[in-house]
Structure 1
Amino acid sequence: MHFVTGGAFNGKSNWVRKTYPINDQNSTWVSGYAGEQIPDSLLPATEYWIVSGIEQYVKDWLIACDEKAVREKWLGKLTEWSCLDGDQTMILIGSDISKGIVPASHEERLWRDVTGRIFQDTAKICDRVDVIWYGINIQIK
């Protein structure tokens, strides 16, 4: 699995498209920004599975669940994805929302904190982690 993170509008998705030979025939791309749900099954078996907007999924899940349940749900997905066969690549994209001013509302602080913990969980499990700033990657794992 490959985790790609960095600031909002810093070119993460474009970098993934340039780095991998992704096209409509060999990939499935789901986006939390577009309101698309992460599928329960990774079928059909495409060569590339891309899940973008991880922080948006966290925000949506926190509406219905507490932090523990959200992390368990995400860890369950990571465990499932780590069992993909060798012909499939899972790419996870999330915007770093931990920088800047601490949010004033409890809900926004919780979202930021849970997202940071989930990104840590993701980085631990993934084989590769890249940070993208201004369209340039730095591989940190």
Structure 2
Amino acid sequence: MHFIVGGAFQGKRKWACTYYRITERKDVVWYNGYECEYGEPDANILERIVVMEGLEAAIRCIPDSAYWKRMFQIWHEWERQSSGRTVVWIGSDITQGVVPVEKEERLWRDVTGWCYQQLVQLCDRVDRVWCGLAERMK
């Protein structure tokens, strides 16, 4: 698995498309966490690349680190079942800066940080994208 993280509007999606040579969305299965679309893999997925964009937003929909740990493991197993498969997670870094005043916002920020820590343990590669440039972290 591959995790791409960085600030909002820093070019994560564009960098991922360039890196994986994705020219059209038909080449991949693309889940949108901003619309709470994440789910478990099924037998109908024939594409070799699955992109999970908006991880921080999906975590907001389900702010349960145990759920996400299980979800990361399920996708990790799906990826390993057949050579050539890659699951790409894209998430914005919301864990830095001013700590939110509202309790719910703080919880979301904390759970997102915990989930990202769990995810990177399973990933073969982690990149931070800033201003469109990637820095490989793992």
Give the match for residue 16 of structure 2: 16
Tell whether 2:111 aligns with 1:114.
yes
* Structure 1 counterpart of 2:19, one-letter code: T
Question: How many residue pairs align between the two structures?
Answer: 133
* Structure 2 counterpart of 1:26, one-letter code: D
Calculate the TM-score normalised by the size of structure 1.
0.89
Give the match for residue 31 of structure 1: 32
Give the match for residue 95 of structure 1: 92
Note the residue ranges of structure 1 that are not aligned, 5 or more in a row: 63-69
Q: Please tell me the root mean square deviation across aligned C-alpha atoms, in Å.
A: 1.2
Answer whether contact 2:41 2:75 (CA < 8 A) is retained. no
Per-residue deviation at 1:116? 0.4
Give the match for residue 3 of structure 1: 3
Name the CA shift for 1:134/1:21 in 2 (closer, same or farther; >3 Å). same
Calculate the TM-score normalised by the size of structure 2.
0.91
* Structure 2 counterpart of 1:117, one-letter code: W
Give the match for residue 52 of structure 1: 53
Per-residue deviation at 1:36? 4.4
Q: Tell me the distance in 2 between the aligned counterparts of 1:127 and 1:120.
A: 13
Structure 1 stretches of 4+ with a deviation exceeding 6 A read none
Per-residue deviation at 1:44? 1.8
* Structure 1 counterpart of 2:59, one-letter code: V
Per-residue deviation at 1:60? 0.8
Answer whether contact 2:36 2:61 (CA < 8 A) is retained. no
Q: Tell me the distance in 2 between the aligned counterparts of 1:60 and 1:123.
A: 21
